[in-house]
Structure formats: structure tokens, C-alpha cells
Structure 1
Amino acid sequence: MKLLRPLLYTASCAAALAMLSTAQAQGVIKIGEINSYKAQPAFLEPYKKGMELAVEEINASGGVNGKKIELITRDDNANPGDAVRVAEELISREKVDVLTGTFLSNTGLAMTDFAKQKKFFFLAGEPLTDKIIWGSGNKYTYRLRPGTYMQAAMLVPEAVKLKKKRWAVVYPNYEYGQSAVAAFKQLLKAAQPDVEFVAEQATPLGKVDAGSVAQALADAKPDAIFNVLFGADLSKFVREGNTRGLFKDREVVSVLTGEPEYLDPLKDESPNGWIVTGYPWYGIQTPEHKAFFLAYHGKYKDYPRLGSVVGYTAIKSLAAGMKKAKSSESEKLAVAFQGLQVDSPFGKITYRAQDHQSTMGAFVGKTKNDGGKGVMVDYTYLDGAKYLPTDAEVAKLRAPD
């Protein structure tokens, strides 16, 4: 018996090792996701739910390339340095295959540079500054949402129709706000050369002194206002603007305000007639959106926000890219995403080879206070592909990969 024991032990070890090897070969694909969950919960809680729904659907249909996907999320504390630190940990400790996420434009830019330095694939879901795809664009970084140029380009034709000469602007004084205002000024001046910008209020993100801002804008007596504030800053600005009569007989064009994340909290303070980009989930009747709505509502017993659409589509995009590449390796993914087509709740989108921007569009319409609740009316979905610079212009904006 003593002679048999080593043999039995060896055989059992070999079997265990074989099973372990098989499990590792089957493995999982790990998606590392970084975002400002504590700082921006209105957008990012629905965003995370959208991601989790996509993961569930993908795994239920067999996964990607024979592997299940696993989502590992981390909070970046709305800090670019923390975002990079967390990215390092996700790669070294969690052994993630790809990175995605970020909300604020400054953290998105930090991750864009990280992806370039580490040669690691990164899909930016939400950050809107166009430096991500142009000035700081690189081989390993792609962006899902329509950026500040695209959204300004969608709003400017409506702004021109107002035939207003004197404009004021108000925005959060960091990368996203600066980028949005620069794009709006550039495009509006090109379309309406006689326009004047008579006042500018740049506020600290999350710390707007709404009373003084509203009063300063009112004192400038503009014909119209371009607003870029969002979240709690937007709510405070609307409240003070309503109190001081800032919006009475004055047109407002506003980025993001039609998104339920930011429109819903306004409740009976919701403004009437603002021209906005947003997400009227209650009125979109396309088959792809109906399917998404039913799946989301069935899982969470809640309606989706725009964050839900972005999170869901980001994971679906990564899955589609890995299927096309037949790999989750960064080099292969970077190539596979060029021209990649993805089915989204807004229809088919394409990741452009020339600048790595997706053609996801946005809804443009007007706000309405409907019995104490803010909604979007008179809205139209605008295809993002039609609101991007020409290839020749992109070539000037973006350094070669």
C-alpha cells in the first residue's frame, strides 16, 4: 500500500492540474471600467445598470469567442490621477483585458493618454471633450458618445433660426465646458457672422454661485443664452434664473438638459421652450429602442436614462469588437474597431477609422413643463455621422497614430 500512495497522489494532482488548465483555457474576458460613481450618481447609476444588462445578455447568448465576460468597476473619485492609478491596478492586479468608462472630460483625457502610453485598449463611453478623438487621439482610444463639436453642430442650426444677435454663455470651467463653448462659438459665428457674445460666466464644477451668475447674465441683457451647466449646477441655475426672470422672453439653447438625469430633478421648475439635446425615452418607437426599453424595464422595474443607453452600448461595442478581432488583445482590438458597426438602442452606429469617433447621434427638441414634470417635445433624432468635420478637417485636427 505504501508504494501505491505516491502513485495515487500523483494521479490526483495531475487530474486537478488538467481541470485547472481547462478552466483557464476557457477563462473569462475581464472588462475594467472606471468612473465617477460617487460624484455623478444621477448619470452613472443608470449607466452601470445598462452595462450590467448588456453583460447579462451577452453571457446568456454564449459570451464572446466562447468566453463569458466579467465587468469589474472602480471609482475614480472624479480625479484624473486616481483614474490612472485605478487603471494600473485593474491591469496589474485584476488582469483586465480592456478598459472602458470615465464621465468627466479631464479624467477621460487622462485615460486617453494612459492608453497611449501603455498601448492598452480604452473605450471612452461618456466624456465629451473632442481632444479625446482629435488633439490627444491615439491608436488605442475610441469614443462612443457624440462629443461637444457634434452636439454644438446639432444645436447651431436651431440657434440660427432664432435670429438673435447678442448671446451670453454659461458653462462649468473645465475641459468639457470650455470645449462645448468653443465649438458653439465657432459654428455659430460661421453660420451667423454678425453674432456677438456679450457675456461669459465660467463657474467651478459643482460649486456654481447661481444667484450671482444669473444676475450677471441678466445685467448683460443678451437676446439668447447658451447653457452648458448640468446636474446640481443646472438645477441651481434654473431656480435662480426663474426667480430673477432671466429666462422671461429670452431664448435658451442648452446642451444635455433634455436628458432625464438632469431634466427630471427640475420637476415643477422645468423651463419651457429651451432648445436642448436629450433623451425622450417615453416617445421613441423604433424596434431597437422598444426591445432595449422592455429588457431594461423588465430587469430594473424602472425607465432607462441616457446613461443606461451609453453603458449598455459601450459593453455591446466591446463585445462586437472582440468578436470581429477574434481576440481581446489591444493591438487586434485597435484594428477591429476601425469601421466597426454595432447595433444600439438608437440604431446601428459605426466607429470611424479616421478619428475613432462613433456615429451615435442625439435627440434635439424643446423642453416643456408638463404638469410639473419636464419632458422633451418636438424632438428629432439626428444621425451623428452628419455632424462631424470632413475627413480633411479631421486630418488637420488629429495627429497620425
Structure 2
Amino acid sequence: MRAIWCLAIGVLVASVTLFCGGAAAEEKPVKLGAMFISSGKMGGYGKHGAQAIQLAVEEINAAGGILGRKLEATTEDTQLNKERTIEIAKRFILTDKVDFLMGPTSSGLAMTLLDIAKEHKKILIATQAATDALTGANFSPYLFSTLSNAMMHSRSGAYLMANKPYKRWMVVGPDYNYGHSSWEMFITKLKELKPDVEVVGEVFPKFMATDYSAAIEEVLKIKPDAVWCPLWGGDSVAFIKQALPKGLFDQVKFAFPVGGALETLIPVGKDMPEGIFMSTRYLFTTPDSALNRRFVKAYKERFNEYPDYMAGETYAGVTFIKAAVERAGSTDAEKIIAAVEKEPLAWESPEGWKIMRAEDHSVVEDCLWGETVFSEAYGFPVLKNIHYVPAEEICRTPEELKAVREGYRKSLQ
């Protein structure tokens, strides 16, 4: 009788996961192993990432899973530690038998994982690491970046500022690869768009510094029209708070390419000067779409806080996995790569529609900029005068995409 019942169910419901004769009670779940910095000064990245994964997994499973299979996810704290990150990734692959890797927060750590992903033929989804090298000079078919990268935000800032009256520019950025490359990409593009721009100073404080007084004094001495400031997270908070008593923001216009994150806006609070130009990869107040409203409501109710950009981008990374597996009809990495490269893959996220491009495995999307303003409704600053710089202006050109693929082919020789 039991075998007949199973057969009947199997005929009526094609996606059933029960098998007759007790061969298997349920298809194996799709497994995701995520790695973020979840402790210390940068711990918010991991916290918001893990919360977004939890929410996405619950919603996907409630809707039937991925190809009828449940999605399971484990999140580990990499800290800012290369050896620990490698150990976690290998354990995910060899012991936990995950189908996908996600993370890490640090771009440097992400570069470290490229060879591991390739060796074990596991797809790595980048939802927080934002160096353009991941999908450019170090392109690997096993990595997909689902967030707008540093190049896109630098170029978008140039397009925005090219229409502003500021001509004398300087930089205050963290003294490591991201800070220097962000400035180089911004000012190079700005000079293309506005040839009369002049560079009047460069200051690169130590990454995760505690004292920015020297940098502040240098800006006050030079008196530029505007400053490109790729400080982020705790660094941007410390810099802004230390600059306020000096009246710096009353004298010089600032543009923070990643300053519009809640990890900056909320800690500065009512002290945030109005009118600072800031960009962010996702801001919960926009767009006014059904999906974003639903996501923000569910996140707020579940975790008692608004989703930061790390949450929005990580949620989008999980839903990309669902879209990619369903297109390929498989969790096999080679089949997914072939399916996505056959034609661009579009999927909806809280921040809007994203497109995964075949040539460099980089997301194609507009970049959001706005100006700071305190919100009584939320109790912390948000952004006003929202402006989206179009993707076609900031993503890699056809010539750049060709160079990415040619570079990859040469690396295989």
C-alpha cells in the first residue's frame, strides 16, 4: 500500500521529493557557505550579511525552495584573517559539501579565494568585496559579483561632479589599495569629462586610523573646492566627527563614494552636516517598489533595524543563486557558468533589477547618489535629492570587456 501511495503522489506532483521503496526521503538541500567579517570594528558587515541570508533562505524555502530543493546556509566569521578565511572555505567545500561560497567582506581576502573556488569548481558570490579587479584583471569564471564595485562608484561620482562648479580637488582616503584606486579612477574620469579640473592635494591616512587631525588640517590649509573621500565605515564616522568642530564641512564640499551606508549615517546622527554628497550600494528608502517595501518591512520586523547596504546586497546575492540555478536546471558550477554566459541574467532585488553580464561576471546597474539630510521620521540622516548615474556610463566599455576576456585567455596559456 505504501509503494502505491508514493507512486500516485509522484504521478500527480512532478516536483515531489519522496521516492518509493525508501530509496530517499528527500532531495539533498542546496548548500551555501558564507564568510564575512562578523566581529570587531567591521563586524556590522557580517551581522547584516547573516541576517539577510537568514531572511532570504526562509522566504525561498517558504516558496518551494530552489528546483524543489531546500536552501541551507551557514555563515562564519573570517575576521580580517587570511589563514582563517582559507580554512573556513576549505571546510565548507570538503566537509560541509556546499554548492556555493559567498563573501568575504575584504577584497583582499576575496582575491585569496579565487584559486580555491577554481580548484574545487565552486562558484563564489561576491556581495561585499568590491574591488573591480575581481571581475577585471583577476577575472575568474567561478566568481560572480552581484554588487556595484569600486570602479562603478568612482566613475559615477565623476559623472555627478562633472556637472558641479568644483574645479580644485583633493583626496582624503585610506592608505591601501582601495583608497588609492578609488581616487585614481574618480579623478581620471573627471578629467576626461571636465578637462579644467585641477588636483591640489592628496592625503592618505592610515586605514582604520583613530586620529584624523593632520588630514583635517591639511584640507583646511589647502582649501580645495571639493574633496573625494573614500573613507568608509568607522573611518568615515571618526573623520566626520573630528572635522565638525573645525567647521570643515562649512568651507569645503565633500563627496563620499560609500558614505551613504547606515554604518556611517546612524552613528553620526544629528551631527551629520546637511548637503554632503554620498553614494551607497543600497538605501532602504528607495526604490519605492513592492519588493523593496516588502523586504524592508520583513527585515525591520525580524531584526528590529533597517537593512544596511550589506543586507540589501547579500540578499540580492542569495536570490541570484536561485535565479542562476533555475536557469541552469542544476547546481553544477560549469552548467551555471554556461547558462549565465549564454545570455545576461536579470533578476529583481530590493534595490531594483540587476543584470549579470556574461563577459566579466559583473553586475550591471545604476549607482545611487544623494545629499545628506536628517530625517525626523527615522531618527537619523538619510539622503535627499537622489540621483542615479546610469549603468551604461559607469560599467566597463566593450573595449574593456574584450581586454578582460583576452587577459583571462592568456592566463590559461
Instruction: Tell me if TM exceeds 0.5.
Output: yes
2:395 to 369, 388, 391: 388
Specify which of 292, 315, 338 is matched with residue 312 of structure 1.
315
> 2: distance between equivalents of 1:380 and 1:235?
23
Q: Which of 292, 296, 305 pairs up with 1:293?
A: 296
* Alignment check: 8 A CA contact 2:330 2:336 kept: yes
Contact kept? 1:81, 1:110, Cα under 8 Å: no
Equivalent-residue separation in structure 1 for 2:390 and 2:194 (angstroms): 23
Helix, strand or coil at the partner of 1:365: strand
Range 334-343 or range 62-71, more displaced: 334-343
Q: Deviations over 1:74-112 (max 9, x none)?
A: 111122332222111111111111111111211122223
Write the mapping of 1:239-254 to structure 2, written as runs, cut at 5 A. 239-254=241-256
CA separation in 2, counterparts of 1:246 and 1:187?
26
Aligned partner letter, 2:206: P
The change in CA–CA distance for 1:301 and 1:373 in structure 2 (over 3 A counts) is: closer
2: CA distance, partners of 1:47 / 1:184: 28
The answer to whether the 8 A contact 2:237-2:267 is kept is: yes
| 1:211-266 residue CA offsets vs partner (Å, 9 max, x unmatched) | 12211222222221000111111111111211222222311111111122211110
Query: Whole-Å Cα distance in 2 between the matches of residues 80 and 334 of structure 1?
Result: 27
Aligned to 1:48: 50
- Which amino acid letter does the alignment assign opposite residue 176 of structure 1? Y
CA contact (8 A) 2:369 2:386 kept: yes
Contact 1:130–1:179 (Cα < 8 Å) also in 2 = no
Matches within 5 A, 1:108-147: 108-147=110-149
Aligned to 1:379: 386
Aligned to 1:230: 232
Structure 1: how far apart are the matches of 2:58 and 2:285? Answer: 24
- Structure-1 separation of matches of 2:216 and 2:53: 37
CA contact (8 A) 1:171 1:229 kept: yes
1:165-184 deviation digits (Å, cap 9, x = unpaired): 22111112223223312211
Question: 2:160 touches 2:389 (CA, 8 Å); kept in 1?
Answer: no
CA-to-partner distance for each residue in 1:21-62, whole Å, 9 max, x for gaps?
514x61111101111111422333222211111100111111
1:305-346 deviations in Å (ceiling 9; x for gaps): 212211111111011111111111221122233312211112
1:195 aligns with 2:197: yes
Greater shift, 163-172 or 279-288, is seen at 279-288
Give the Cα–Cα distance (whole angstroms) in 1 for the partners of residues 72 and 131 of structure 2.
28
Q: Which residue is equivalent to 1:14? A: none
Give the paired residue count: 383
Contact 2:232–2:259 (CA<8 Å) still a contact in 1? Answer: yes
Structure 1: gaps of 5 or more residues:
1-17
Please provide the CA RMSD for this pair.
Answer: 2.1
Q: Which residue of structure 2 lines up, in the alignment, with residue 368 of structure 1?
A: 373
Residue in 1 that maps onto 2:103: 101
**More displaced, 209-218 or 199-208?**
199-208
1:175 to 177, 183, 201: 177
Secondary structure of 1:248's partner? helix
What is the alpha-carbon distance in structure 1 between the residues aligned to residue 182 and residue 120 of structure 2? 29
Aligned to 1:343: 348
How far apart in 1 are the matches of 2:346 and 2:286?
25
Partner of 1:7: none
Quote the Cα distance in structure 2 between the aligned partners of 1:198 and 1:322.
50
| Letter paired with 1:163 | P
In the superposition, the TM-score normalised over structure 2's length comes to: 0.87
CA distance in 1, matches of 2:191, 2:162: 10
Which residue among 324, 328, 333 is the counterpart of 2:331? Answer: 328
Pairwise CA distance, 1:397: 4.2
Q: Aligned letter for 2:365?
A: M
Q: How far apart are the structure 1 equivalents of 2:237 and 2:115?
A: 33
3-state SS of paired residue (1:366):
strand
Check conservation: 2:65, 2:71, Cα contact below 8 A: yes
Aligned pair partner of 2:161 in 141, 159, 162: 159
Secondary structure of 1:307's match? helix
- In structure 2, the partner of 1:4 is none
Return the TM-score normalized by structure 1: 0.89
In the other structure, the counterpart of 1:352 is 357
**Secondary structure, counterpart of 1:161 in structure 2:** coil
Question: Compared with structure 1, are the counterparts of its residues 115 and 378 closer, same or farther at alpha carbon in structure 2 (3 Å cutoff)?
Answer: same
Residue identity matched to 1:156: A
* AA of the residue aligned to 2:351: F
Residue range with higher mean Cα deviation, 164-173 or 369-378: 369-378
What's the counterpart of residue 3 of structure 2? none
Q: What is the CA–CA distance in structure 2 between the aligned matches of 1:124 and 1:231, rounded to whole Å?
A: 19
Per the alignment, residue 61 of structure 1 pairs with 63
Per-residue CA shift, 1:242-301, capped at 9, x if unaligned?
A: 122222231111111112221111012212211111344235322221222233233334
